[in-house]
Chains A and B, each alone.
Chain A
Amino acid sequence: AQSVAQPEDQVNVAEGNPLTVKCTYSVSGNPYLFWYVQYPNRGLQFLLKYITGDNLVKGSYGFEAEFNKSQTSFHLKKPSALVSDSALYFCAVRDIGRDDKIIFGKGTRLHILP
């Protein structure tokens, strides 16, 4: 069965520093990979996705993610963090080869320190 792991419950980064939020996945077929963000008391908002092609994908709010097939990872990155980036981030995977469900990780809380 497909699965997603976000090994860090929380990540703290000083404002202006680069940030990375980690995600690894397991699927039987080709993965579609996603990052979503959730601000307090809000629903989930789409950030970016990897379907095929360039391993580095760019998304909303200056975020990007790098797909690494050999390491089965899809880490979220941003060159310079903002305090407003503080939120809960979810990685998700869609296994095209199976029943087409989308499964989410447990989430990583990102704290940007002023």
Chain B
Amino acid sequence: NAGVTQTPKFQVLKTGQSMTLQCAQDMNHEYMSWYRQDPGMGLRLIHYSVGAGITDQGEVPNGYNVSRSTTEDFPLRLLSAAPSQTSVYFCASRNPEGETQYFGPGTRLLVL
């Protein structure tokens, strides 16, 4: 199993550009989440999904969209990037009854 994979590993955007951060898992987990990590702020939950077709907002959802059309994939979309979205983004997955979250390796995003 590859576990949780994220692409790209690193991305530079200009203000106003759009992009999609990809996340995929091969463990058949129903729950998937996106977090951003910023110095001094820890990990903050952006959006999460409890199954295909179901998504909900986390702590800091503004500026981000998500969809969950399949169990395996949970892409995070930035429609109009802003410098405040410069961060490291982590995707995670787990089963409803499972307590342990599995994290991807992260995507480092720089918005100029």
Contacts and interface: CB of A to CB of B under 8 A. Distances in A.
Given A49-B99, A49-B100, A102 B90 contact: no
A106 B40 contact: yes
Nearest to A43: B103
Interface residues of A, number: 23
The bracket for how many chain B residues form the interface is: 20 to 34
B45 A43 contact: no
B43, B45, B50, B96, most chain A CB atoms within 10 A:
B43
Given A100-B50, A102-B45, A9 B40 contact: yes
Nearest to B59: A103
B26 interface: no
Contact of A44 (B40, B50, B90): B90
B76 to A, nearest CB: 16
Interface string A44-88: 111001010000000000000000000000000000000000000
A26 B45 CA distance: 16
A46 B98 CA distance: 13
Contacts of B105: 42-43
Interface in B14-44: 31, 33, 35, 40-44
Interface of B: 31, 33, 35, 40-45, 48, 50, 56, 58-59, 90, 92, 96, 99-106
